[in-house]
Structure 1
Amino acid sequence: MAEFVEKRCEDMIPQLEQMERIKLFERTEIKDIAKKRKEFEYKIQRHQKNKEDFLRYIQYEMDLLKLVKERRKKLQIIAKKSEIDFSIANKINSLYKSAVFRFQDDFRFWIAYMTFCKQVKFKSCVSRMIGKMIQAHQNNPKCWHIASKWEMEENKNLDNAKKYILAGLRSHPDSQLLYTDLFTLELEQTEKKTNKPAKAKKVDESTSDKVVESVDAKVDESIDEKADESIDEKVEESIVKEPKIENDLPVEIKRAQIIYKTASNNINDVNYIIGLLNIAKNYKNTEKLQNQILGDLTTKYSNKAEMWDFMARRELEGLSYNPDDEKMEVDNDMESSSVRDRISSCNEVYQTAVKRLKSEQIWSLYINCLLEINKDLTVLPNYKRKLLKNALIQAHQAKKLQEKYYINWFHMLKSDKHDETSNEKIYQVLKYGTDAIPSSLTLWQMKLKHLMKINSDSEIIDNEFTIAIKALGDNSLPIWQMKLLYYQAKCPDKVEDIFKTGIMQAPEISKLIKVPYIEWIILTNGIEAARKKYQELSLLPPLCLELHKKMADLEILQPNVCKLNARKPHEMAALQFGKSHIEVWLDYILFEMKHGDPMKVSDIHRRAVKTLEPAKTDQFITQYSLLLANSENITL
């Protein structure tokens, strides 16, 4: 292996010498490059090959190539490009080939290699390896898709692109990706023929049958004779036999119609069919094809919310669907009346949809659309607002309104002009929300904040707090915090009763109420009262580590630190949480080192090692060593 690596490194010496000679890199930089390459070469030559070694080596060479280009631009050096730039690109190409060969199952290597070849214009390399990629990954529809895309976009060879798609569909008859590719390809061919000069068009029209026959013949050559009848053959047969397809359409449109039909029969997905329709919209002479797809959408997917949403939004664009009308033209008249008609037609479709489907999904799509319409209130602001408010009320009454839409409703009312009834309307909407979704913390918070703002009756507000806490259960901590802040400002004499009630709640609430409780006591009654209450709270289940930490901090903040009292929270934390929490011991040690008795540190260390779970002991010893090494600067 060593001899092979040395030989490769020697082969790179001329390139490095050229880099130094034309002053792209300094001597020290050249040495670093040579050293780094040698390390990579040894790694990729190991008996056990590793993907990451190849990837790192490739990335290093790509970064080097990028740096070379930057240096050339900066120093205005153009000499020796073939010896340096091209040589590095060849090296990357060689590494990719080796990686692809050794790790053929990893599709990422193939994609990365093709991307690299595209960047450095090594197109012939990709053309040679596409067949190998397909052989290795023919069970992956994306492989056929990538092959066809390469032929179509890089080689400009639609025939070869089509061959790959058709071959892929043989193995993957349900592939949405491949049907989309084939559908788009046929429409692209129509577009190209339509944009040809008039003389060329005339030739095309007179020889359309020959075009179909020649393309089909080329496709057939690439298909196994023993396989089933190809998609392309079915397309040709259907063009001749299918009575629903008009003979005056371009051949490629006819083919696109059959491809669509085949895809829709194999793929039962409303969003996919909508996607094909959106593709067809981008091409000329596809009105009949679009009508065919629209007809299938409205009949086959009448129970799908996505279909109704799509049809309603078409109305908003001015594209009304009429099965008997082949023309679908967008009304570009942006006068107020035209916009109103579009919005009204869109709203009518949604109204029909929510009556038929009665699902939360269709209501959400309906309201989303109206919210989008309401983003621009320069035209018909009152009409747009009215439709949105009506839809929100209807969705609420149907019990299909999601939390986010109650929030939208609230913000919409707040942004409206205020009158005597505005606050009552806002409160009513928030009440709708909490009644419909009692588990929504956000809606309860909004409701309580609004109520505290507009109502001075503490009895009413206290009753709302009680209802909210009961409805939210274990998730009600933010409501408890709101309640405490409110009563500290409005009724200080009731605060302690609220704390006492809070610490008797579920563990998720109780243990987190203890910390602000002890803070409140020290602020209102002093340190002695806080110490007494701490002694009680520290033993009251559920046990709370944050309580010990807070009390330890409060003791250190006293003007005259009492070591005995300041040590108690650390001792309680160690007793209650010392088995599984390393930090309680480290905090305890740091306290003794800075404020207590440093002689006690070794005893605490021994206790910690004995008490901690075995899995935590090594970690504690490591952190303890760091603490001793830098006790002044470490933050715990």
Structure 2
Amino acid sequence: MAEIVQQRMENRIPELEQLEKVGLFSKKEVKSLLKLATALEYKLHRLIITKVYFIAYIQYEINVLELIKKRRSRIGYQFKREEIKFSIISRINNIFRRATTKWKDDVQLWLSHIAFCKKWNTKGAISKVFSSMLRNQVDLSSLYYALWIMAAKSELEDRNSSESARHLFLRALLFHPESKKVYQELLHAEKLRKQQKELEQAEIDVVSTHTHTHTHTFLRYEFSPEIVSGKLAEVVYRDATGKIQGADFILSLLTIAAIFDFTKDLQDTIIQDLQSKYTYDSLTWDFMARRELEATVGEELQTAKGRASDIARREERCCQVYDDGWSLCCVPEAMWACYVSFCLERFKRKTDIRELKETRQERLLAVLQRAHDSSLLKEDFYKNWLQVLLSSGDSEQTAVVAMADTQRYRQSVDVWCLALQTMVRLGSGATGKLFQDALTHVNPKVHTHTMGCCEKTSSNMTGRRGLLSVVPAVSMEIKEKYLDWSYRAGGYKKARKTFTSLHESRPFSKAFFNRMIQMEKDQVSRVTMYGETRTNQNQMYL
């Protein structure tokens, strides 16, 4: 062990001497560096080794590398910069390899090594690290497909090697044949590959024409017809859709294909498959409806009202598609969710044309009402419905919708709280009755959710009824909140009166008494301060 450590330290001596010679480190600093490196190296040769030792050693070497970089930048001395830098980076890579050899399954350790290689621009080592990592990862769970994607994208982006990236994607499919993400990235890579080949071909033609103007000879490279025509991307698409079903997956592939301007044929193929195979899927109709917004106009409209009218017509066509698909969709609730989401998105878009805004609001309210009448409106949309009604000032319809929401989702605490908040905001006298209805359908802890929204009522009947809860935890929490409300609403006197009426009512709560003690202290401090101020004023008057 000592011989190995000694040999490795001796290998560092020329590097340290060079650092001392160029003035980057003093003689004392060089000795300190050598001593610390020796201690760290000895730790790696103990009988019991932990990752902490390797991480500490790696961090030490990285700190040295950063320090050298800063000092070179400060003094402007670059002599033998690459030689010394390469020596330290190679040593760090070697320590990483020793660590990953011992802990092969530690993904974080592998990723740290990759991050180091990218930071210090050692692209040649990245491929080797990825290759070793993928070779040693025996876990075939769905989480590990991301490692294959990272490796392939590194080849494509860092090394500009589309062929290597393609091979890695294909190998990833051997281990993860049903991974949607791998197929999506492979399709994107094939399109990038075709684009790259077209750009290279165009560049070669330009250079050849410029160079051989007189002889009219053109230097040409023969690329694979499948690559130039983009047929490989279609093969990837066919293979992917043959193994993985679902409209959402096909739409994700269509989104990738739409990025490139030379994929019209592939896009048409995907749309045809979507319409023929997934007619009963709500996502298909949602996609087809939203396509109507992208329809081209014959001539550009000059006025704002003209453009607004055109947008209104497009939105009307979208709604017609949704209406046609509602009867064919196998999951009507999902179809209504897409329909309402579309109307809500269009309603939230800003416009200066009042007619367009009113049309969108009327359409949204009509669709929400139709979905509710069909008992297919999701719980989350009721909140949006109430917000739109409140903003429009229709108090009567708002109250009707709030009550209907509670009838539709009787077991939801959030629904009851939303209804209570709405009724309090409207100043309705039916709040107390609604609260009692809530207690018969949901957990008694609805008290704690509604105390805050009911504080604006003058009598705070909701809080008083909550004090009678049979659940001790709820009753104690309501006492505390009711005491706080009394203090905020009527000051110390009202809080004292509330405390007197409740302090002997079981169950007891320590926090309830502590809160009243704090109120008493605040009152004493306030009286003392007021008395001192008044005495000083009398003295000044005399």
The residue number in structure 2 matching 1:180 is 184
Mapping of residues 120-159 of structure 1, within 5 Å? 120-137=120-137, 139=140, 140-159=144-163
| CA separation of 1:449 and 1:102: change in aligned 2, threshold 3 A | closer
| CA separation of 1:480 and 1:502: change in aligned 2, threshold 3 A | farther
CA distance in 1, matches of 2:157, 2:452: 61
CA distance in 2, matches of 1:186, 1:11: 47
Return the letter of the residue paired with 2:275.
Answer: T
The residue number in structure 1 matching 2:55 is 55
Alpha-carbon displacement from aligned partner over 1:7-38 (angstroms, at most 9, x marks no partner): 54565566566656666578897787666645
CA distance in 1, matches of 2:222, 2:376: 58
Answering whether residue 401 of structure 2 is matched by residue 396 of structure 1, we say no
Alpha-carbon displacement from aligned partner over 1:472-515 (angstroms, at most 9, x marks no partner): 4322223663587356xx34xx87x9647624432332121233
Which structure 2 residue ranges, 5 or more long, are not aligned? 207-216, 302-306, 526-542
SS in 1 for 2:135: helix
CA distance in 1, matches of 2:220, 2:407: 68
Q: Is the 8 A contact 1:312 1:347 kept in 2?
A: yes
The residue number in structure 1 matching 2:165 is 161
**11-20 or 393-402, which deviates more:** 11-20
CA distance in 2, matches of 1:147, 1:449: 53
Q: Is the 8 A contact 1:191 1:284 kept in 2?
A: no
The residue number in structure 1 matching 2:479 is 514
Return the letter of the residue paired with 2:360.
Answer: K
The residue number in structure 2 matching 1:350 is 322
Task: Indicate the RMSD between aligned Cα atoms, in angstroms.
Answer: 4.2
| CA separation of 1:206 and 1:533: change in aligned 2, threshold 3 A | closer
CA distance in 1, matches of 2:38, 2:447: 60
Alpha-carbon displacement from aligned partner over 1:168-210 (angstroms, at most 9, x marks no partner): 43444333344334433433343344443399599999967xx
CA distance in 2, matches of 1:28, 1:553: 62
The residue number in structure 1 matching 2:105 is 105
The residue number in structure 1 matching 2:346 is 373
The residue number in structure 2 matching 1:576 is none
What's the offset of the Cα at 1:265? 0.8
What's the offset of the Cα at 1:406? 1.9
Return the letter of the residue paired with 2:509.
Answer: C
The residue number in structure 1 matching 2:263 is 286
| CA separation of 1:69 and 1:414: change in aligned 2, threshold 3 A | farther
Q: Is the 8 A contact 1:105 1:136 kept in 2?
A: yes
CA distance in 2, matches of 1:204, 1:169: 38
2:230 to 231, 253, 261: 253
Mapping of residues 470-489 of structure 1, within 5 Å? 470-478=440-448, 481-482=451-452, 485-486=455-456
| CA separation of 1:436 and 1:64: change in aligned 2, threshold 3 A | farther
The residue number in structure 1 matching 2:535 is none
CA distance in 2, matches of 1:296, 1:204: 41
CA distance in 1, matches of 2:463, 2:190: 73
CA distance in 2, matches of 1:508, 1:59: 52
CA distance in 2, matches of 1:32, 1:423: 79
1:412 to 382, 388, 409: 388
CA distance in 2, matches of 1:463, 1:197: 77
CA distance in 2, matches of 1:354, 1:69: 65
CA distance in 1, matches of 2:453, 2:132: 69
CA distance in 1, matches of 2:34, 2:179: 48
Return the letter of the residue paired with 1:344.
Answer: E
Return the letter of the residue paired with 2:267.
Answer: Q
CA distance in 2, matches of 1:88, 1:206: 42
Mapping of residues 426-437 of structure 1, within 5 Å? 426-437=398-409
**351-360 or 26-35, which deviates more:** 26-35
CA distance in 2, matches of 1:56, 1:312: 58
The residue number in structure 2 matching 1:544 is 509
Answering whether residue 254 of structure 2 is matched by residue 277 of structure 1, we say yes
Q: TM-score, normalised by structure 2?
A: 0.76
Q: Is the 8 A contact 1:51 1:99 kept in 2?
A: yes
Answering whether residue 328 of structure 2 is matched by residue 361 of structure 1, we say no
CA distance in 2, matches of 1:158, 1:136: 24
Answering whether residue 274 of structure 2 is matched by residue 304 of structure 1, we say no
Q: Is the 8 A contact 1:503 1:513 kept in 2?
A: no
CA distance in 1, matches of 2:80, 2:282: 63
Corresponding pairs, count: 497
What's the offset of the Cα at 1:273? 1.6
SS in 2 for 1:511: helix
Q: Is the 8 A contact 1:271 1:306 kept in 2?
A: yes
Mapping of residues 202-241 of structure 1, within 5 Å? 211=224
CA distance in 2, matches of 1:341, 1:12: 76
Return the letter of the residue paired with 2:361.
Answer: R
1:197 to 199, 202, 214: 202
